[in-house]
Every structure is written in C-alpha cells, then in structure tokens.
Amino acid sequence: MPTIEIRKVTKQFGAFTAVKDADLKVEAGEVVCLLGPSGCGKTTTLRMIAGLERATGGDVIIAGQRMNDLPPQRRDIAMVFQFYALYPALNVGQNIAMPLHYEGLSKAQSDARVMKVAQIMHLTGVLDRMPNQISEGEKQRLAVARAIVRDPNCFLFDEPLSRLDVELRHSMRGQIKEVLTGLSKATVIVTHDQLEALTMASRIAIMKDGVIEQVGTPHEVFAKPVNVFVASFIGTPQMNLVEADLISFGGGKADVMLAGQPLSIAADPAVSRLRPSKITVGIRPRAFTAAQDRAGDTIAAQAELIEPMGAETLIHARTASGGDIRVVVPRDKRVKVGEALHLRPDPRQTHFFGEDGKAVRA
Amino acid sequence: MAEHNSIWETLGFRKASGVGEAGWGRTLAVAIVSFIYFLPVLFIIFTAFKPQDAALSVPPTLSPTSLFGLIPEQFVFTPTLENFGSVFMRSMTAGGAPEPTGFDRYFFNSIVIASSSVLLALVIGTLAAFGFSRYPLKGNDTYLFIILTTRMLPAIVVIIPVILMFRVVGLSGSYTGIILLYTAFNLAFTIWMMKSFFDELSLDVEDAARIDGSSDTGVFFKIALPQVIAGLAATFVFGLILTWNEFLFALLLSGPDTRTVPVAMNQAVSSGGRGTDWTLLAAIETLFLIPVFLVTFFLQNHLLRGVTFGTVKR
C-alpha cells in the first residue's frame, strides 16, 4: 500500500528557510495533519510532496519511490486546494472528469466514475452548472470530488475547510473524514485549525518556523506536549504557562516558587535531574480544582474577568505577582469578580518545561 | 403618504445613492455626449453619399432626409452612391474614360497585412507573455522594458534604421517585410497586454491541472488560454485598429503592389491637381471603416466580459 515519506526535507527561498529537515512518514490509510500558525511552512511542505515546489534538500518518497525529480503529473497524487482551484471554463461534471481525461478511459467509463463520485459528494443535481453558479459548500465538495475520482497513491488537502462558515465546516469535516476512511489512502491535511486537526487526524505534526516540533496522535500532542510551543498551541483555552523557580525536588514532589508563592506539587521523576533553575510550569485551564483555603499545593489568585462560554465558564484570575491564569470551571460554579481563589492544579495535568523550553518527562 | 419626487427624479435622474441601472435622464446625457463623439464620423459617412456640390455648399448640408419637414430644405442633400463607384473606377484626366484605380488591390493589401500581422503577433505574443508570466527569466522586467522601447518613440524616429535594415535584407516593398514589421510592433503591445491578463489568473488552478495529469502545454491550452479569451479579443481589436490605420511605415516601406489603403488614400486625393476631392475621400474613409467596425462589433461581447469567472476568490 502506498505511503508518503519525507526525509530531511528542506526548502529555501533565497536566504529564507521555509522548511528545515522535516521528517514525516504517513502510512496507507493514515491521515496526518500538518498543523501550525501561518507562515510555519506547512503548505510549502505539502507543495513539496505534491511536486509543485522542488525540495532544496532531502528526499520525498511516495509509494516507495523517490519523487524529488518528478513533476506533479507523474507522482500520481490528488490534491484539494485551499481556494478549490476549480476549472472556471468547465462545468461541474467536466471538472470532476478532468483528472480522468489523462487516464485514457472511454466516455462511458469516465461518465460512470463521475456519476459515482457525484453521488458520494451530493453533486448530481449541479453537474451541468458552471463553478461560479454553485454554492460555497458545493464548490468545496466539487474540489473533493475531483480529487477522489481517480485512484491515486495519496491525497493532499491544503486548508480544505478554511473558506466555509462554521456550520458548513462542521458537516464537511464529518463528510471528508467519512470519505477518507472509506478510501484508506495515505493522506496529508494542512490546517491551522487545531480542532480540525484533532478531529480528523490519526496523527498530527505540529510545525513552527519550518521545523516539525512534534508528531503524535491527537491524544499524545494534547497530553504530552514536547515543548512550550506545542503546549501553548494545542488546547483551547490555551494552557497556562507560568514562569517559576525550581527550588528542590524530593519524595516525588517539586517545590517551586510560582507567581511569588511557594508551591509543592507532584512531578515527573525526571524533574529531579534539573538543577534549581528557571522553569516553566504548564497547567491546562481545566486542570484546576478550587480549594477553600490556602494550602501548600494551591495558587492564590483573584478573579478578574469572567467569560461564560456556555457549558463552562472561563475565569481570568490574577496572581499576587501580576500573572494571568486562565481557569475553566463548570457553569454551575458561581464565581464573582474580585473573589479570592485558591487553585489546586492536578499534578497529572501539570507539565514542567526546562530552561530550553523542552518538556521534562521520563 | 405619497412618495415625494424631486423634479430631478421626475426627469429620470436617480437619487445619488446606491448602485443600479441609471434612469432615463442620465442615459440621455450619456447619449448626447456619445453623439458628439460620433459626429465627425457621421459627417464623413454623410459626405460619402453627397453629390460634389452638396459637399462643398455653405452652409453645409447635414442630412439625407428632411425628417418629415423638421430640417429646412437647404440643409438636406440627395444621397448618391456615385462616390463609391469612383473609388474603384474613375477617369484620371478631365473628360477621359473611367479606368480602374487599383483600390480593390489596396483594400485587399490592408486586410491581408493588418490581419496577418495582428494574428501573428497574437500567437507569438501570447506564448511569450505566458512565458514571461510563468517562467520568468533572470532580469525578467528588463526584457519587458526593452520590448516596450520600440513603442516609446514616434515612428518617424525609428523609421530610418528600419529602412536601412530592410534594404540590407531586401524586404522593402514586400508583403513579408511589412507584415514582419507590423508584427514586431504589435508584439510589444501584445506581450504587455497578455502578460497582465495571465498575471491575474489563479496559479492554483494551473497547479491543480498539473496534479490532475496535465502537461505544461496542456495547462496553457486547456486552462490558461480559455480564461483569457476576453484579453485575446481586446488585444486583437486594439492591435487591428493601430495596424489598420498605420500610415508612415506603410508609406515608406510598401511598394506599388503592397500599398495599403491609408497610403493610397493620401495619393488619391492629392493627385491630379484638381484640389482635394472631398466626396471621394469620404467614400474611401467610409469603406475603410467597415472592416474594423465589423470586427469590433462582433468581438464586443468578449471585450466587455470579465476576465475570470469568479471561481477563485482571494
């Protein structure tokens, strides 16, 4: 079964390095999301896999064959573009049939394939329309239909849902996931939307400044971020990343000076290897429980801003040293602005990052 | 309550807000301005149908019909087709027998030379423009700039080196020579026009075609070209008008067999020592107008249509 693999792939535009030593392997039937902020090199990576950009260094291997020097038309791939890239002079049916044109199929065979795909993507009613006469959702489905009409080695999606409104995005996410599951091909999806990545991907590769920071299942990248960037990028609201001084480690507990307060918290044994130093403590907003009084394992803060989010309420709390801590509590937990809070972080959801920003874990 | 209408609105002017079809008032105002634009052309066309005396009368005759008595009798002329006949056949000396003037040949020359050079420039220029747009050379803009330098000077300035070049290679007076010259001049314009049309297209669509299996040639013919049909039409019409009316190069570089209408027109009206024959001139001009008028008329839908079809939003 065809796989996609990139080994030490680098792309330079003049003096600017867009992608640096990227390694990634996508198995057949696997969906990998390239996730990162704008300009992190995720689309460039995708375009190098597609052959639309030449890699400056490294190898692009599709279905076991090194593809660096092959143009896109000889890589046997299908791609869905961010802006759909529909053929403006062709109608919907002709758009879907375009990739088949080069396969030398008979008219009847080609028509049958187009009909089948049109049925899957609910486009049978608009086959005769021009691309500018169909809705945004239909354009999106047409772009996917055109990609799946052939039987390529692999699928590439560049921000496939970014142009849809929230509701449509939600339903398309489900539809695309369903279609991809049925096809079991190696698939790479580029997105800047973590929810899209978390819901659609078997694994997520998080990129920043041209470097793949972490590759893991949605669960792994959320529960075990390898560094401060991944920790801050995955999860809404963002993880609290509080600078602290590590004082000592003993009996499975780390003693730190956090926001001007001493805090004793159970930590990974690996933390014992750190010398007393500046560290960053990461705590998810949902990982706090409220204590009645000040204790050795609580952080004191004052509720400053309260944002109801429906099922939950987001509280911005300020510590004595002026730091901001985001806390998510259930809706029924009433908190007033100005109220003093004693927050007890859950040690299992607390992460320690060394001075270099890397997670300290066994 | 009845809606209040100002006198302007009653006259058909729309309120100065929003977008939409203009009222009768504005349409009329534009019609008047357009008529003023068209007036010189109309006057020439009318003159072509006037008898000699009517053309030279003071005050000038203005209309072939009295419009049911609306126009006073002294401004009305009786239309005649005689002038058109004498474009092709007339006596060259006073009282002499009518002989062919050769204008059929000159019209043929104009049509062949203008259309072939514009088409040739369109084919080469469109390919070149796609190249400049998609596969830029090192120092791309410099080449584009150099291409345009030929259009920066008045023709009279470059004519001498051009004449010398033609003498050396023996192209003076030949169809090939004049067609190549016009092609070269139109190329500059064509490349610039078509490049800007290609620059506007979405590269994603072309990338998509490549991924779907299309070759670079296929991308050009199947994807890019259908999207710039409006551009091709516009470039063709502008090039045709420029070339059709060109006088100076044609005067100096065409021979007796390859003479074009503008050159022949000049000679027809200024020879014979009888002063300018205005009705003859007007008849030639009217005939001369027809081909370009027809081409522009049939291409106007393409000229007016948008370049892209709104499938790619940015």
CB burial of B94-132 (b: ≥16 within 10 Å; e: otherwise) equals eeeeeeebebebbbebbeebbbbbbebbbebbbebbbbb
The answer to whether residue B226 scores a pLDDT higher than 70 is yes
Asked whether residue B57 is domain-assigned, the answer is: yes
- pLDDT (mean) for A337-343: 90
**A147: how many CB neighbours lie within 10 A of its CB?**
26
**Is the Cβ–Cβ distance between A320 and A299 less than 8 Å?**
no
pLDDT digits (tens, 9 = 90+) for A199-211: 899 999 999 999 9
Query: Which of B214, B232, B211 is CA-nearest to residue B223?
Result: B214
Q: Domain check: are B82 and B114 in the same one?
A: no
Q: What is the pLDDT of residue B15?
A: 56
Q: In whole angstroms, what is the distance from residue A256 CA to residue A276 CA? A: 9
- Residue B265 sits in a domain of what CATH number? 1.10.3720.10
| Boundary residue ending a domain (B100, B122, B144) | B100
The encoded tokens of residue B83 equal 């002038």
Asked whether residue B2 is domain-assigned, the answer is: no
**Is the Cβ–Cβ distance between A143 and A81 less than 8 Å?**
yes
Substitution target from A48, A80, A86, A113 for chain B, most B beta carbons within 10 A:
A86
Is B212–A99 a contact, with Cβ atoms under 8 angstroms apart? yes
Chain B residues closer than 8 Å to A101 by CB: 212-213
Q: Which A-chain residues 90-129 have CB contacts (< 8 A) with chain B?
A: 98-99, 101-103
Domains of chain A and CATH, by start: 4-233 (3.40.50.300), 241-353 (2.40.50.140)
- pLDDT (mean) for B284-308: 80
pLDDT digits (tens, 9 = 90+) for A149-186: 988 889 999 998 888 888 888 888 888 888 888 888 89
Asked whether residue B310 is domain-assigned, the answer is: no
Asked whether residue B63 is domain-assigned, the answer is: yes
| Boundary residue ending a domain (B68, B100, B132) | B100
Q: Treating both helix axes as pointing N-terminal to C-terminal, what angle do A107-120 and A136-148 enclose, rounded to 10 degrees?
A: 130
With CA atoms as reference, the chain A residue closest to B216 would be: A73
Q: Domain check: are B248 and B142 in the same one?
A: yes
B242-246 contacts at long range (C-beta below 8 A, 24 or more positions apart):
B242/B185, B242/B186, B242/B189, B243/B113, B243/B114, B243/B117, B243/B118, B243/B182, B243/B185, B243/B186, B244/B110, B244/B114, B244/B288, B244/B291, B244/B292, B246/B155, B246/B182
Least confident of A4-18, A24-38, A221-235, B17-31: B17-31
Q: Domain check: are B228 and B159 in the same one?
A: yes
- pLDDT (mean) for A1-17: 91
The answer to whether residue B241 scores a pLDDT higher than 70 is yes
Which residues is A61 bridged to in the sheet? A5, A66
The model's pTM = 0.79
Number of domains chain B contains:
2
Is B208–A87 a contact, with Cβ atoms under 8 angstroms apart? yes
Quote the domain boundaries for residue B125.
103-304
Instruction: Answer yes or no: is the ipTM higher than 0.85.
Output: no
